[in-house]
Amino acid sequence: MITTVTNYGDNLGVQFPKSMGKNIHISENDNVEIWIKNDAIIIKRQADKKHLTTKERVAAFYDNTTEDYQPSETEWGKPRGKEIW
């Protein structure tokens, strides 16, 4: 298929037939990943992401931290404005 690149404000766009999108399970409002590989533009449907609960997010955070992580404070100097310390 040959198509024309069009201008959408500060962006470029390419249209392709719904039948082509249907073949790769892409439809209107789907999130897609776009990248360049070997001078080609690759478009892939982004996998559906499950919305995590707060409890799941906290658990995932602690599962991904390493034992060598040590939080620390940073000294930013004296206040320069009307900050309250």
Q: Where are the domains of the chain?
A: 11-67
Q: Which pLDDT score, from 0 to 100, does residue 61 have?
A: 76
- pTM metric for this prediction: 0.48
Among residues 32, 28, 34, which one has the least CA distance to residue 45?
32
Q: Name the region of 51 (left: φ>0; alpha: ψ -120 to 50; beta: rest).
A: beta
| Average pLDDT of every residue of the chain | 84
SS3 53: coil
Positions of the chain with pLDDT lower than 50, given as ranges: none
- Asked if 44 and 25 count as a contact pair (C-beta separation under 8 A), the reply is no
Q: Which CATH architecture has domain 11-67?
A: Ribbon (2.10)
